[in-house]
Amino acid sequence: MRGAACTALLALLLDGLVILASRLWLERGLAR
């Protein structure tokens, strides 16, 4: 149970990081 919760949390964190990175990349690309 604890392992599954850890995996879910890691997946959520990775999702957030990907979204943040793509948003920053898009903003940087639009600024040019």
pLDDT tens-digit readout, 9-26: 999 999 999 999 999 999
Q: What pLDDT is attached to residue 25?
A: 94
Alpha carbon distance 16, 22 (integer Å): 10
Q: What pLDDT is attached to residue 32?
A: 72
Distance of CA 24 to the CA centre of its chain: 11
Taking only Cα atoms into account, the Rg of the chain, rounded to an integer number of angstroms, comes to 14
Alpha carbon distance 14, 8 (integer Å): 10
pLDDT higher than 90, residue 31: no
Q: Full-prediction pTM beyond 0.75?
A: no
Residue 32 in 3-state DSSP? coil
Q: What pLDDT is attached to residue 2?
A: 86
Q: Which residue has the higher pLDDT, 27 or 31?
A: 27
